[in-house]
Amino acid sequence: MMPQISVFRQRALPFACVLALGLAACAPPRDLRPDLDADVWPPRLFSVSMESPENLVLTFDKDVTVVPDSLVVEQFDETGLIQTMQDDDDTLGPAVRIGDDGGERVVLAFDRPTRPGIRYSVGAAVEDSRGNSLQLVAFAYGYNDRVPQLQINEFTTRRSANHPEMAELLVLSDGNLGGVTVTTGTQREYSERLIFPSVDVRTGDYLLLHFRPEGAEHEISEFGDDLALSGGLNAQDHARDVWIPGASGLPSNNGVLAIWEHPAGPPIDAVAWTNRTSASDERYRGFGSLRMERWVEELVDAGAWVIEGLSPRPEDLIWIDYSTATRSMNRSPGAANTRSASDWHTAPTRGSSWGEENTTDVHMP
């Protein structure tokens, strides 16, 4: 499976394209069509993808070559520090070679596998046969062929002083979380995003995502083996606590939470909730905002959320109004995931079960 791929910056280098338009008085007009028909446009970058643990592929709209000495590849370690990767310095990671596959595909072939969850940047200048050139910087995450199956298992969007917003992920298969991405919202538009580092997990593990950290020193994300490392509100010693840096909570009444194989990858699971109906207002089909309408449409288009009709309605989402800070939204243990509102029920008051099997008891309003 591919890791996250996102283009950071794309800029065309200056290129010569000068047409002499100043004509002598009384001279017949010159036919400019041969000049205008010439290819004077810089290459366009179509995609960036990790196609194997060793190969990062840049795809363009035309045949290109890499400008000599323009290629710079860097990797970011877990603390965000940058290391430049060079052929003559084996301590800085795998060397990089340039491969050519048909001209439209530039292959960067690493001598050793990239690391899941580690971010890599590629800077380069490319040019076509006419000398039109493009300078680019793109980011990719190390290839992960062991992405686990995950399920959003429990969540709460309402908070109290001692119970801030949280979500619980249940691991359904062994694997590695490197590059797996959680968004409040979707890939294109999100308010919070977490990209996991390389972490091995096993079937039955629980991940507790804390969406309103207080900034305390003991709020430590447990990416290692010690599951009792973290403190903080609702931290659990029997589950892996993960604190979303800078997060200010989940949307209380209308929102989306989604998991993706990597930041530009296919969905793993998603939930969407509301306290609105189609009759709530005439704008945005009752969703209340253009952003919420777009979020739901993107989930549906990606196959992450199933609706009954031809277009999404608020009635297709989880009804959130019965939930509270301790009355969480739950899946029933062992039930099939249909990616729809029918999978979910509201737990009774104080029925939250973070890091443990969910209750089958249902709140009766």
With 0-12 / 13-18 / 19 or more C-beta atoms within 10 angstroms meaning exposed / middle / buried, residue 69 is: exposed
Confidence band of 102 (pLDDT split at 50, 70, 90): low
Mean pLDDT of 11-20: 33
Straight-line distance from the first to the last Cα atom of the chain, in angstroms, rounded to the nearest whole number: 44
Residue 52: which residues within 8 A CB-CB, separation 6 or more? 143
| Confidence at residue 161, expressed as pLDDT on a 0 to 100 scale | 92
- Residues paired with residue 207 on neighbouring β-strands, in sequence order: 169, 240
Of residues 175, 104, 185, 106, the one with CA closest to residue 144:
175
Confidence band of 27 (pLDDT split at 50, 70, 90): low
| Confidence at residue 38, expressed as pLDDT on a 0 to 100 scale | 67
Residue ranges per structural domain of the chain: 5-141, 150-346
**Other Cβ atoms within 10 Å of 105 Cβ, number:** 18
CA distance 287 to 361: 29
Confidence band of 240 (pLDDT split at 50, 70, 90): very high
Confidence band of 91 (pLDDT split at 50, 70, 90): very low
CATH class of 5-141: mainly beta
pLDDT at 30 over 90: no
Q: Considering the chain, what is the average pLDDT of its residues?
A: 86
Identify the helix (H) or strand (E) that includes residue 292.
helix 290-301
Mean pLDDT of 283-304: 95
What dihedral angle (degrees, nearest 10) is formed by the CA atoms of 351, 270, 163, 249? -160
pLDDT digits 0-9 by tens, 328-348: 999 999 999 999 999 999 999
Please check whether the two domains, 5-141 and 150-346, share a CATH topology.
yes
Q: Identify the weakest region by mean pLDDT among 16-20, 173-177, 305-309, 325-329.
A: 16-20
Q: Identify the weakest region by mean pLDDT among 2-6, 89-93, 177-181, 246-250.
A: 2-6
CA distance 314 to 278: 6
pLDDT digits 0-9 by tens, 150-172: 999 999 999 999 999 999 999 99
What superfamily does domain 150-346 belong to in CATH? Answer: Lamin Tail domain (2.60.40.1260)
